[in-house]
Structure 1
């Protein structure tokens, strides 16, 4: 028994005087798909003769990599680590036995043991990959098409190692045509509506019931021509960030908007036609009927157009006010007509009632178009439209004055 005790003490003294294998100070946290170094080293270089290094995945008892006979042995690796786990072979002679693990997967989380053997000594250290961080952001591969005025959804789904309510930031931006416009921002699980560009304010939002599921899709209401383009959903959590894009294209006029524009144009056209007939004929038989049509027909058309516009875009107060004005206008005109007849001004052909009716409708419909068009057209289209409107109005007025001059 004394002999055995002596041998045990002697062996203990030898081991204690030998090398000490060191590892990391704590567990490692690694990003999915990245590379990580599993530290394993000694303070003093060891002789390469008979040196053997074995890395083992202890929780599933799998051989990760082996160094033996002056070289690494990839043929001994388990298949899942083949081509992904490497020694720093030029550093082994300096006492660095660390392992580089590339393209980290979710299943790589676990415990790794680094065992170092020499001819007479042995030591080991344990390395833990505690957590695999990952962030995946996906959307829709196909572009989204819509009519002007419709509501659309731009998809953005987030998958991460942390729960959706702890994601640091989700930002939607419009990024095409040299633009970088803030559309909507969610920061620390709170929506920041004031951060949205004024063009999108009150028209965008998240599906709040879907946020806990990682669905950060954008709801865009009452689309306009200017909304067409590329949108980016950028997600950031910790030092990880990912993004996906959604394309909104082919924003054409809906049937409702086409009807609205047709009614506005028809109101102006009917006012012009009736004004020309009224100015040219001016007989006692047709004048009263023309006067009634001129008072009612364009007003009813504009009333319906504005009513439909309010329904499609939700501008309730403006719709009620403008529609009420168009309904009251015929009544006001009929009440003012007897007083205008007794005025000497009305008898002058340049101050003819038909002329002023047309001018009034030209100005008023131009104002209405200028309100409607920015919601339906982009800036370039609106510029072309406004030039055409100005030119055509000037041309029509010249024709009207020429007809009056020939009377």
Structure 2
């Protein structure tokens, strides 16, 4: 009798349409509330196989199968936020309870029922989701930061143009530098309630770290106490780089839980990063800018390894990246100790050994699980690094003993060649990072890693520059106001736009990626200002020496430093004098051409 009843029901017209009761309906809610999405099954259904809740286009919300609820099948966005009413399931009620409603929940939810013969579905559309009090507060902070940046930025630009430095101006500058950044930091932290880890950690860190660069680019930096001036001029870039890099590390590190071997490897990389961070800051403190730059590049390499840590073993990547770094290290050593005549002592040999050892360890760490050809290639590369490094030590020590026999013209040409090769290596290094990230990160969004590496590869060469003595007033003021006011405006507009667009469409736009190009533009403009100041200083010195009919040469003092020697020999040709003067002024910095 039951079999006959089932057949009658299945063959009855309209049964499929009435398998799920209820029509498509629309609901509204507010952020943070609980919402019930209705779905009831006809009580005559006897062979129920599966009930699924999905959010269009294709996000699994919850699965009921074989009389069990599989919560682990839910997408991470809805895990621990959805559940059935267990007591109502025997009655055919598969309504879904959605807890802690978020803006991105806006859209259409499908309840799909599967039997052994038919499939039917009904829809619930969340049409409108109102802002919570927390999100309204975020919008208020964005508006306040925007108004503060616009008002104080315009006012401070006019005052700085008049070269007015007073207590009132300093207070305005401190407020403009700190308050909008703090407002945006708080806004991004509050945004973490909705679980946007990348956006929260990285953007909030950038908001605070930018204060260091703003203090260094301040037009009235020389009015600050001498100890604070020195600290900002030497350590602002490595600190900025380290803080932003640590934020990127933390995002990748917290994704993995437990004490697996892969997690242990990440922990070791994290320890290495901390060591490179400390070494970079200490090198900058003792005005060893080139050494600080190399430690930052090692830091960058570790961050790159973290990004590719889950991908298959790729010895080719290691070989290319370590080779580029070793070339960069060798040319920087030649530039410092050969063409700048700085002493090459045991401390410098020890520091160079750290760089060589890091490149060799990077090669050796990838030997496990490779075939014989790849093993021999990496081992040969490692031995080659050591041999070349030892040869460089021998050459530098030999040249240090024969330093009085080197002419200034040879030193100038050699310095220029090293600077050119270093510039090429910096560009090649950045290009390799971007290419490998784009190629090998295929299981997760690579855009955040691309923009992050672009920013860090721009910041690292900035560590090579000393602070310009007399930068042009108008470009300097424009740059500083852009960093202090313009970037705060960009942050405010982007965060507010994200909230409004998400409330309207239910999807989260990646507007925060726009922040990185603007940060990169700010750092790049600062480097360009350094290059311009260095070129103007060199041009004026060449012009003055030609007008005086003198030739500039070099003499090395007892401490290894260099002093300018003016020769009044009228028999020297202007062309020869120009070459030697250029050799002198190339002492400005290798990063003059590395950008």
State the TM-score, normalized to the length of structure 2: 0.36
- Relative to its length, the structure with more strand (as a share) is 1
- Relative to its length, the structure with more helix (as a share) is 2
State the TM-score, normalized to the length of structure 1: 0.49
Rg larger for: 1
